[in-house]
Amino acid sequence: MEPVEAVCAIPAPPEGARIFRADANRTFRSEPNRLVCIKLLSFSQQKFGDYQQSLGYVAGLLLLFFDPATCFKVLTVLNDSPKYLPGYWRGEATACAVDGYVCEGLLKPHMRAKLKELGLLPETFVQKWFAGLCIHHLPYGLLFDFLDQFFQHGNSFLFQFFLAFFDTFEAEIMSAANNPEANMLIRFESAPEPRLRQALQDATAERYVATIKSLDVHQCRISAFQEALSRRLQSANEGMWREVWLHQFSLRSAEVQSSQQLFLPWDVLGANHSNIANVITATLIGERGIFAENWIWRFESCCKAGINTSGANAGLEAQRQVNSIAQGDAMERPLQLGLSVKWGCNGQNQHLEIGLVLAAQFRALALGAATPAATGEVQVLTASNFSTSVREGMEQPWFVEFYSPHCGHCKRLASVWEQLAKQLEGKVAVAKVDATYEESLADEWDVTGYPTLVLVAGGKRYDFRGGRSLEALKSFALGGYLQSQEPSTESSPAFGGEHVLSLSGDMEEVVRSSAKAMFIVFYLRGCGHCRSMESTWGSLALELKDQVQVASLDAQQFRPLTELWRVERFPTMKLVAGNRVYDFEGDREVEDLKAFALKGFSALPGEPLPPRLSDLPSSTAQPGGAPRSNSIHLAVGFGLGMVCAAAAWAMCTCLRPASPASSKPAAEKEVKGD
């Protein structure tokens, strides 16, 4: 096995399922409980896009007290809300490490020096304290006090506890002879319980509260990241870069020389966004081999843009900013990499999923600057270069004319089109396709008349339908297309093919009047996950033809409906039967979907149908009302978190562990080792 392949294997070890099984086995004793646990963990991974084993501890504890659905909600709030565990539950625990260093920075100088001497890195033990909430370390009697405080005060309590702990155990740490000895204390193994209790009580003392309150956490995180982590992460990246570069370049150089402009399709293998340090790490994998690079960007302004606004505007704004940053960054690299970024806000404003780098333009430096696409001339596209040039408009918008050489309108447009290209130089690529010759392209793009003018930008198609004057065309190309119309849905057929019912604004009525159960997918055009399951959905529709109505809704186009139905990520599948709504959370395989639609859903409690849009107060019914519904949603989530804390606390203090007969068959489980 070549090292290159080893790199390939690193970012995504195909062992998600295995680690869930292993962790569940280590948490529960009986198989049914283990299965529930595995399910919860895999849902969480799907939802959060990553898995951290510390989440397993929290999930295990919650499952003692709540049904899986509630646990999932609590986990979601903990993960999504900046109040609780901002970005801690990542496989690569950067966010957690950053906060460890922030706390370390608040310690007394001699203590910091001692920790350094012992080689006790905050990034290692705060994973246990912060991300794992001390669940496997604190004695139960103290654990619930700890959790109680945490649910009440959130993240800042963790910081306070950190400080209080090191103050309480200052003498022990200072006299520790070596790392393992100090580590025993950090794991609370050699820490006497009464003093731990003291530390816990002290944590809410005024002095610590004040210290943390006065802290500019955001700024501290940025500097902690820069001081303690950034160089290390970068050097790790560079190590990887060099390794791969050496292996790949010889292979590529031939191609580079044979072609002035080389577009390589890139995929995002993994894009993590940790909203606390505003850092984005992306690993890129090229189609013809691995070209892994982990890039780190300070992303402050973009994240703000994404958080403060919602929907398409945020995406565009972010994209614009990202582009400018990426270009600046790329200039200093040994190769030029133009990156496009696409944002899929998932409704939950705090947990922005960033679909990073959908396309990249790659050139070897030796060739100098290659010709940009928006050259000022009308480019001729054919079936062979269309998709590699336009690349779904991810790099820049493409304005394409499908023409016929014999059509009078087209001939009249020709000179305007050339002027347009000139005026849009550097901004929008202008091109033409001889539709009579390129029949397959014309078919694909539904060209029924000449000329057909299509603007492709950000993975979407916008048809130009106005008068074909230079001014109108220009303003359309320079952004007018965004306002003028919804992206045309005609560009591609109904999601999943002819057997899928394509829902639209009248969905609420259709759902209510349908005789059969209805299985709806909420999808986004341009979302990779959605695209990859499109054919699955089509075959499902075929298989369920007579039993269940399989349908789809374009979430982008019918955003208010999507929000009303509380769709937070894509694709989301919901089954409507008997005026109740059941969420599908399993594998997106035909078999699983089918089993769910026919029978599986009945095991779930389901939720009542959401009210009609028209029945709502006007503010939430409008597209702009999104933030409000989000915040309501979050508030509900917080509430649940608090309920959880209260219940857990009550269970612990009022009831003996064995007595709650009503609780799940969970009394036998061991969340903790011993």
Closest CA to 314 of 291, 274, 342: 342
Q: For residue 239, state whether it binds other proteins (rule: CB under 8 A).
A: yes
Q: For residue 475, state whether it binds other proteins (rule: CB under 8 A).
A: no
Q: For residue 284, state whether it binds other proteins (rule: CB under 8 A).
A: no
Q: For residue 194, state whether it binds other proteins (rule: CB under 8 A).
A: no
Contacts of 239 (CB under 8 A, 6+ apart): none
Report the distance separating Cα 154 and Cα 156, nearest Å: 6
DSSP labels for 368-389? -SPPPS--SSPEE--TTTHHHH
The single residue among 49, 56, 315, 459 that binds other proteins, judged by CB under 8 A, is 56
By CB under 8 A, which span of 120-128, 357-365, 384-392, 601-609 interacts with other proteins? 120-128
Q: For residue 289, state whether it binds other proteins (rule: CB under 8 A).
A: no
Q: For residue 431, state whether it binds other proteins (rule: CB under 8 A).
A: no
Q: For residue 104, state whether it binds other proteins (rule: CB under 8 A).
A: no
Q: For residue 75, state whether it binds other proteins (rule: CB under 8 A).
A: no
Q: For residue 179, state whether it binds other proteins (rule: CB under 8 A).
A: yes
The single residue among 28, 43, 48, 57 that binds other proteins, judged by CB under 8 A, is 57
The single residue among 145, 170, 202, 243 that binds other proteins, judged by CB under 8 A, is 243
CB atoms within 10 A of CB 160: 25
Q: For residue 18, state whether it binds other proteins (rule: CB under 8 A).
A: yes
Closest CA to 363 of 470, 495, 264: 264
Q: What is the 3-state secondary structure (H, E, C) of 90-118?
A: CCCCHHHHHHHHHHHCCCCHHHHHHHHHH
Cα–Cα distances in angstroms (integers) from residue 435 to residues 205, 380, 481, in the given order: 75, 11, 23
Q: Which residue is catalytic, options 530, 644, 652, 654?
A: 530
Evaluate whether 570 touches 556 at the Cβ level (below 8 Å): no
User: Quick check: is 96 catalytic?
Assistant: no
One-letter amino acid for residue 650 of the chain: A
DSSP labels for 409-477? HHHHHHHHHHHHHHHTTTT-EEEEEETTT-HHHHHHTT--SSSEEEEEETTEEEE--S---HHHHHHII
The single residue among 104, 123, 317, 568 that binds other proteins, judged by CB under 8 A, is 123
Q: Give the full edge-to-edge strand order of the sheet including 379-380.
A: 379-380, 429-434, 398-403, 452-457, 460-463
Residue 142 C-beta: closest distance to other proteins, Å:
18
Q: For residue 237, state whether it binds other proteins (rule: CB under 8 A).
A: yes
Q: Which two tokens stand for residue 14?
A: 């195909």
The single residue among 38, 103, 212, 229 that binds other proteins, judged by CB under 8 A, is 229
Q: Which residue is catalytic, options 407, 644, 652, 654?
A: 407
By CB under 8 A, which span of 85-93, 424-432, 499-507, 603-611 interacts with other proteins? 85-93
Q: For residue 87, state whether it binds other proteins (rule: CB under 8 A).
A: no
Residue 3 C-beta: closest distance to other proteins, Å:
6
Closest CA to 80 of 16, 161, 154, 160: 154
Q: For residue 22, state whether it binds other proteins (rule: CB under 8 A).
A: yes
User: Quick check: is 134 catalytic?
Assistant: no
Q: Which two tokens stand for residue 457?
A: 């930008």
C-alpha distance across the termini of the chain, in Å: 41
CA 332-335-339 angle, to 5 degrees, is: 85
294 to 323, contacts with other proteins by CB under 8 A?
Answer: 294
Contacts of 12 (CB under 8 A, 6+ apart): 269, 270
Give the helix, strand, coil percentages of the chain, each rounded to 5: 55, 15, 30
The single residue among 41, 78, 131, 524 that binds other proteins, judged by CB under 8 A, is 131
By CB under 8 A, which span of 196-204, 537-545, 559-567, 665-673 interacts with other proteins? 665-673
Report the distance separating Cα 331 and Cα 153, nearest Å: 44
Q: Can you say how many angstroms the Cα of residue 308 is from the centroid of all Cα atoms in its chain?
A: 17
Q: For residue 190, state whether it binds other proteins (rule: CB under 8 A).
A: no
Q: For residue 524, state whether it binds other proteins (rule: CB under 8 A).
A: no
Q: For residue 244, state whether it binds other proteins (rule: CB under 8 A).
A: no
Q: For residue 624, state whether it binds other proteins (rule: CB under 8 A).
A: no
Q: Which residue is catalytic, options 37, 134, 220, 410?
A: 410
User: Quick check: is 527 catalytic?
Assistant: yes
Residue 591 C-beta: closest distance to other proteins, Å:
24
Beta partners for 520?
Answer: 551, 574
Q: Based on CB atoms, which residue is closest to other proteins, 22 or 271? A: 22
User: Quick check: is 303 catalytic?
Assistant: no
Give me the residues that bind other proteins (CB under 8 A), please: 1, 3, 6-7, 9-11, 13-15, 18-19, 22-23, 25-26, 51-54, 56-57, 91-94, 97, 121, 123-125, 127-128, 131-132, 136, 178-181, 183, 187, 229, 232-233, 236-237, 239-240, 243, 294, 670, 672-674
Catalytic residues: 407, 410, 527, 530
